[in-house]
Amino acid sequence: MATAEIPYQETVPLHHPKTWLGKYVFSQDHKVIAVQYGITAMAVGLVALVLSWLMRIQIAFPGFLEGFGADEYLSSITMHGMIMVIYLLTAFLLGAFGNFCVPLMCGARDMVFPFVNMLSYWVYLISVLVLLVVYPLMLFTDIQATGAGWTLYPPQTITAGTPGADWGIVLMLASLAIFIVAFTMGGLNYITTILQARTRGMTLMRMPLTVWGIFIATFLGLIAFPALFVSAVMMLLDRLIGTSFFMPAIVSLGQKLEYSGGQPLLFQHLFWFFGHPEVYIVALPAFGVVSDLISVHARKNIFGYRMMVWAIVAIGILSLIVWAHHMYVAGMHPAFGFFFATTTLIIAVPTAIKVYNWTLTLWRANIKLTVPMLFALSFVLTFIMGGITGLFLGNVIIDIPLSDTYFVVAHFHMVMGVSPILAIFGGIYHWYPKLTGRMLNDTVGKIHFYFTFVGTYVIYFPMHYLGFVGVPRRYYETALGGHFPDWYPVSAHHLNIFITIAALIVGAAQMLFIYNLVHSYFKGKKASDNPWGANSLEWRTPQTPPSHGNWDERLPTVHRWAYDFGVPGHDTDHIPQDVPRKESA
């Protein structure tokens, strides 16, 4: 299989910066950029975590928070959703894991265009700042963060009465457009690196599944984010210069607005053409990471590697033709509901292939319950949970009564909120030793895991029930004038108090994780080159942590896939990818 082709990266010298600024701040090293992405994403994620606390406190104890009115509640919902989906999950899985894993796992020295890669991070940082500048502005001016909900549906998004309809939405849309520019610069690098800058012997079908997940997710991003970009541009024009792309003739507060003839549904189609693939932009890298984690920590080859790859590809393609299952109640043609329900349910096939393969990988394996493994296993469980409720919501007839209830909140938090977060945690616990040269504290890690995992179910399981009862989502206050409406069981409110207390505790438990990250960086146990006994190339670098350029003069040569664990007749329990095959084998 291996050809005599010389990897181009072996022939060109890497630019080594001399100054501290060039090494650690404006660095072109993919590993430093990964850390920058990771820290920024986690910081902005903490903001979103605090927002969710505020919302939960308001739901359980209305009026407890002074100055947290309906406007603040709605804008918190919007910011929490947008931050978590885009600025944390997308940025972390593709920006941090993508940058760290792709060159190391492919055996490349760096990304193909390190300068563009560096720009990608700095533009991402600008988008985060444009997003968050609304909070200082809220303190000193009467500008309000947008409260349109993270889907930003017009016409309510830019009509009076919605918080931030004047300037909050402008900041949000501008930030999104900037983020897309940043993502494109990074994404082009990941794809080109994977396609054109692998090392000797690294065929596509020998790549670890993490790289496959990132590869297809990035590709999805490059064709889905344009829809968000276009809708952001069009809504900005509607808001700023008074075009009517999305705005129909409309009466607001007794006044006929200047708008006429636009199409609100068009925005929903554009948004969800981005929004649904976005779920898989987040899920596919998580799938990949979890596949690798399960295989390594169960000391067994991944079951059905090829099927795992094709399932990732199939999910990627299918995810582009299911978007309108988010719009069953939007008033589109009913025949569309039939089509999109069908395609949605078909996605269950490749997804089930993945879940069965993870399970079969675990079957009779030598499972080591390390912290990364615990998180990987919890990902599989949580993803199955979220996937099954997805079957409910994918069917038009069941979706309609469940629409806009807490069932939906429970579903998407399970499947695309918590699941990828669990995969991210697993990935961090797994790769931290390679990144820093130190181990994370195991005991703190396990406490963090049980709080997070059990907490997930304590928080989101009851929400399914709330949804069936009919509790609507996004309501600032259910009890008007201190009295609950007749249809609202008091037990639902008690359940809400329970969920809030759990959410506060689980959120606080995340501080353990941050403590662990910081403390272990200075005081953690020294890590060996390959503490988990993994096979993929990132564990075979000459130095730990890998130096700039990753490898020696010569890039490693790959002779096998990344999953040779417990090969019969072999003296070690794992065979790294760069170990040559025996003559007989």
Partner 1 sequence: MTDATAPSTTESILTSTARDWSSDVTTFKGVPWGKAMMWIFLVSDTFIFTCFLVSYMTVRMTVTDPWPNPSEVFALAIPNELFGWQFLESPIPVPLLLIAIMTFVLISSSGTMAMAVNMGYQRNKKGVVLLMSATALLGFTFVAMQGYEWSKLIFEEEVAPWNNPMGAAQFGSFFFMVTGFHGLHVSAGVIYLAIIAYRVGRGHYDKTNFEIVEITGLYWHFVDLVWVFIFALFYLW
Binding-site ranges for partner 1 (CB under 8 A): 1-8, 112-113, 184, 187-189, 191-192, 195-206, 222-227, 229-231, 233-234, 237, 241-245, 258, 260-263, 266, 270, 273, 558
Q: Which of 453, 425, 454, 418 is nearest to 440 (CA)?
A: 425
Q: How far is the CB of 183 from partner 1 (least distance, A)?
A: 10
Q: How far is the CB of 3 from partner 1 (least distance, A)?
A: 5
User: Closest CB to partner 1 among 127 and 500?
Assistant: 127
Q: How far is the CB of 244 from partner 1 (least distance, A)?
A: 6
Neighbours of 331 (CB within 10 A): 10
Q: How far is the CB of 377 from partner 1 (least distance, A)?
A: 33
Q: How far is the CB of 198 from partner 1 (least distance, A)?
A: 6
User: Closest CB to partner 1 among 330 and 348?
Assistant: 330
User: Closest CB to partner 1 among 11 and 255?
Assistant: 11
Q: How far is the CB of 279 from partner 1 (least distance, A)?
A: 18
Q: How far is the CB of 266 from partner 1 (least distance, A)?
A: 5
Q: How far is the CB of 201 from partner 1 (least distance, A)?
A: 5
Cα separation of the two ends of the chain: 15
Q: How far is the CB of 195 from partner 1 (least distance, A)?
A: 5
Query: Using CA atoms, how far apart are residues 130 and 175, in angstroms rounded to an integer?
Result: 5
- Token readout for 368 is 């080591």
DSSP state of 5: P
- Token readout for 477 is 């206050």
List of residues 6+ apart from 219 with CB closer than 8 A = 187, 191, 316
Element (H or E) spanning 409, and its range?
Answer: helix 406-412
409, 414, 418, 422 alpha-carbon torsion, rounded to 10°: 180
User: Closest CB to partner 1 among 81 and 187?
Assistant: 187
Query: Using CA atoms, how far apart are residues 402 and 574, in angstroms rounded to an integer?
Result: 49
Length of the chain, please?
Answer: 585
Report whether 221 contacts 90 (CB < 8 A).
yes
User: Closest CB to partner 1 among 58 and 159?
Assistant: 159
- Token readout for 453 is 């995992």
Q: How far is the CB of 580 from partner 1 (least distance, A)?
A: 15
Query: Using CA atoms, how far apart are residues 478 and 130, in angstroms rounded to an integer?
Result: 33
Which amino acid would we find at residue 220?
Answer: L
Query: Using CA atoms, how far apart are residues 440 and 374, in angstroms rounded to an integer?
Result: 14
Q: How far is the CB of 383 from partner 1 (least distance, A)?
A: 28
CA atoms within 13 A on the CB side of 245: 19
User: Closest CB to partner 1 among 7 and 462?
Assistant: 7
Q: How far is the CB of 109 from partner 1 (least distance, A)?
A: 12
User: Closest CB to partner 1 among 229 and 406?
Assistant: 229
Q: How far is the CB of 350 from partner 1 (least distance, A)?
A: 20
User: Closest CB to partner 1 among 75 and 157?
Assistant: 157
Report whether 40 contacts 34 (CB < 8 A).
no
Which amino acid would we find at residue 52?
Answer: S
Q: Note every long-range contact of 111-114, with CB atoms under 8 Å and residues 24 or more positions apart, other chains counting.
A: 111/30, 111/189, 111/190, 111/193, 112/189, 112/192, 112/193, 112/196, 112/197, 113/188, 113/189, 113/192, 114/15, 114/28, 114/29, 114/30
174, 175, 180, 182 alpha-carbon torsion, rounded to 10°: 120
Q: How far is the CB of 189 from partner 1 (least distance, A)?
A: 8
User: Closest CB to partner 1 among 223 and 518?
Assistant: 223
User: Closest CB to partner 1 among 262 and 427?
Assistant: 262
Q: How far is the CB of 576 from partner 1 (least distance, A)?
A: 17
Q: Which of 450, 445, 421, 446 is nearest to 516 (CA)?
A: 445
* Phi then psi dihedrals of residue 368, to 5 deg: -105, 120
- Token readout for 222 is 């490059």
User: Closest CB to partner 1 among 34 and 235?
Assistant: 235
User: Closest CB to partner 1 among 114 and 433?
Assistant: 114
User: Closest CB to partner 1 among 332 and 509?
Assistant: 332
Crossing angle of helices 419-436 and 264-297, in 10° steps, is 50
Task: Tell me the CA distances in angstroms from 228 to 186, 271, 274, 278, 380, one per residue in order.
Answer: 17, 6, 6, 10, 30
- Between CA 198 and CA 207, with CA 203 as vertex, the angle to 5 degrees is 80
User: Closest CB to partner 1 among 12 and 397?
Assistant: 12
User: Closest CB to partner 1 among 5 and 486?
Assistant: 5
User: 341, exposed or middle or buried, with CB in 10 Å at 0-12, 13-18, 19+?
Assistant: buried
If you search the block for the tokens 């907490």, which residue do you land on? 455
Neighbours of 126 (CB within 10 A): 16
